[in-house]
Amino acid sequence: MKILVCGGAGFIGSAFIRNYLKNNPENEVTNLDSLTIGSNLKNLQEIEKNKNYQFIKDNIKNQKIVDDLAKNVDVIVNFAAESHVDRSIANPKTFLDTNILGTYSLLEATKKYDNLFIHVSTDEVYGDAENEDSFTEKSIVNPSNPYSATKASSDHLVSAYYRTYGIKCITTRCTNNFGPYQFPEKLIPKTIIRAKKDLKIPLYGNGEQIRSWIYVYDHVQAIEELISNGKFGEVYNITAWNEITNKTIVENILKLLNKSKDLIENVEDRPGHDKRYSIDASKIQKEIKWKPKFDFNESLKDTVEWYNKKSSWWESLVDEKSLHPQPWTLKWE
What is 98-148 written as a DSSP string?
IIIIIHHHHHHHHHHHT-EEEEEEEGGGG---TTSPPB-TTSPP---SHHH
Lowest mean pLDDT, pick from 1-15, 85-99, 224-238, 295-309 = 85-99
pLDDT band at 293 (very low <50, low <70, confident <90, very high): very high
Q: Can you give the pLDDT at residue 151?
A: 97
Count the neighbouring beta carbons within 10 Å of the beta carbon of residue 311. 12
pLDDT band at 253 (very low <50, low <70, confident <90, very high): very high
Hey, which bits of 205-256 come out as E strands?
A: 210-215, 234-238, 243-245
Instruction: Say which residues have a Cβ less than 8 Å from residue 165's Cβ, sequence separation at least 6.
Output: 111
Please write the tens of the pLDDT for every residue from 3-28: 999 999 999 999 999 999 999 999 99
Enumerate the domain spans of the chain.
Answer: 2-178+214-238
Residues comprising the chain, all counted:
333
Q: Can you give the pLDDT at residue 161?
A: 98
Instruction: Return the CATH fold of 2-178+214-238.
Output: Rossmann fold (3.40.50)
Please write the tens of the pLDDT for every residue from 148-204: 999 999 999 999 999 999 999 999 999 999 999 999 999 999 999 999 999 999 999
pLDDT band at 131 (very low <50, low <70, confident <90, very high): confident
For 117-127, what is the mean pLDDT? Answer: 97
Please give the model's pTM, rounded to 2 decimal places.
0.97
**Residue among 18, 60, 66 at smallest CA distance from 223:** 18
Per-chain mean pLDDT for the chain: 96
Torsional class of 167: left (φ above 0), alpha (ψ -120 to 50), beta (otherwise): beta
Q: Is 90 exceeded by the pLDDT of residue 322? A: no
Q: Can you give the pLDDT at residue 83?
A: 80
Residues assigned a catalytic role: 123-124, 147
The DSSP line for 182-237 is --TTSHHHHHHHHHHTT--EEEETTS--EEEEEEHHHHHHHHHHHHHHPPTTEEEE
Q: Is 80 exceeded by the pLDDT of residue 333? A: no
- Asked whether 101 and 58 are in contact (CB, 8 A), the reply is no
- Asked whether 159 and 186 are in contact (CB, 8 A), the reply is no
Q: Is 90 exceeded by the pLDDT of residue 332? A: no
Please count the CA atoms within 13 angstroms of the CA of 46 that sit on its side-chain side: 9
